[in-house]
A and B are shown apart, each in its own frame.
Chain A
């Protein structure tokens, strides 16, 4: 009945305008969870929690939704967290790179990648626009959900 697609998803920020709102490659800082140097804390869940929170915030900010199959969401967040730990930045886990360190420095595929920032295209299916057949209703995922889903693999 009330399954209308939310027109605004309470983020209070400026509407997401892929190519004109903010200087290229430098989105508004308060919405962006950038990976800091890895390993400061050393706990296994630190990066997972950072990337979980980032994913929730960025979904709200970009008016995108997680996949109906939250295992997809959980696996990608785990992949981002692993890259944050090993490379210092959440490099996209669904791509092949000749040189991951160089790719991180270049920044194009650090999440949120340029295609996502500019055109809301996320081939990892982490952030799905409401018209996508696989988009669910959620913009939240708990740490427990992620751990449970990824423990199967």
Chain B
């Protein structure tokens, strides 16, 4: 939906998360999932950057998952440290960034995003 472009979508239930993933798979969009924890400093500090990227790359889906809220999802993606960013396209995990590394994150978003539809 147009209203969900350009913003970070915080997923608070498993169902919501898998619905967004399913839709992105259909539309073949790149998904970047930010795995975060509420009282982790680096997770907090990178959050505004993630918001900025969501605005800058509206043809990419930016999801946020709190690892204590969606434990099953965190386990499925084998999250250890946070923040961790998973890149998924066509239902496949294609890349990962571990840590609050803005430059690496941006490089990989640009590398995998493809052209705007």
A and B form one complex: yes
Check B45 against A71 for contact (C-beta < 8 Å): yes
Residue A89 interfacial (CB < 8 Å): no
Check A93 against B37 for contact (C-beta < 8 Å): yes
Residue B24 interfacial (CB < 8 Å): no
Which of A6-14, A15-23, A72-80 faces chain B?
A: A72-80
Known A76-B39, A78-B39; contact A95-B82, beta-carbon cutoff 8 A: yes
Check A67 against B81 for contact (C-beta < 8 Å): no
Report the minimal beta-carbon distance from B58 to chain A, rounded to whole angstroms. Answer: 26
Check B75 against A79 for contact (C-beta < 8 Å): no
On chain A, the residues within 8 Å of B74 by CB distance are 96
Docked Cα-Cα span, A67 to B45, in Å, equals 11
Known A93-B37, A95-B81, A123-B81; contact A153-B44, beta-carbon cutoff 8 A: yes
Give the total number of A-B pairs whose CB atoms are below 8 A apart.
Answer: 63
Known A75-B44, A76-B41, A79-B39; contact A94-B75, beta-carbon cutoff 8 A: no
Check B82 against A72 for contact (C-beta < 8 Å): no
On chain B, the residues within 8 Å of A125 by CB distance are 41-42, 100
On chain A, the residues within 8 Å of B35 by CB distance are 96
Interface residues on B, range: 20 to 34
For the complex of A and B, 4 pairs with smallest distance between CB atoms: A79-B39, A72-B41, A94-B40, A75-B41
Docked Cα-Cα span, A125 to B45, in Å, equals 11
Interface residue ranges, A against B (CB under 8 Å): 67, 69, 71-76, 78-79, 82, 93-96, 98, 123-126, 153
Check B81 against A94 for contact (C-beta < 8 Å): yes
Q: Name 22 A/B residue pairs within 8 A (Cβ), A-sorted.
A: A69-B45, A71-B44, A72-B42, A72-B44, A76-B41, A78-B39, A79-B40, A93-B39, A94-B42, A94-B43, A94-B83, A95-B37, A95-B80, A96-B37, A96-B67, A96-B71, A96-B74, A96-B75, A96-B80, A123-B81, A124-B41, A153-B38
Check A67 against B41 for contact (C-beta < 8 Å): yes
Docked Cα-Cα span, A123 to B79, in Å, equals 14
Report the minimal beta-carbon distance from A17 to chain B, rounded to whole angstroms. Answer: 25
Residue B99 interfacial (CB < 8 Å): yes
On chain B, the residues within 8 Å of A93 by CB distance are 37, 39-40
On chain B, the residues within 8 Å of A73 by CB distance are 41
Interface residues of B in 95-115 (CB under 8 A from A): 99-100
Residue of A nearest to B79 (CB): A96
Report the minimal beta-carbon distance from B82 to chain A, rounded to whole angstroms. Answer: 5
Residue of A nearest to B74 (CB): A96
On chain B, the residues within 8 Å of A69 by CB distance are 45
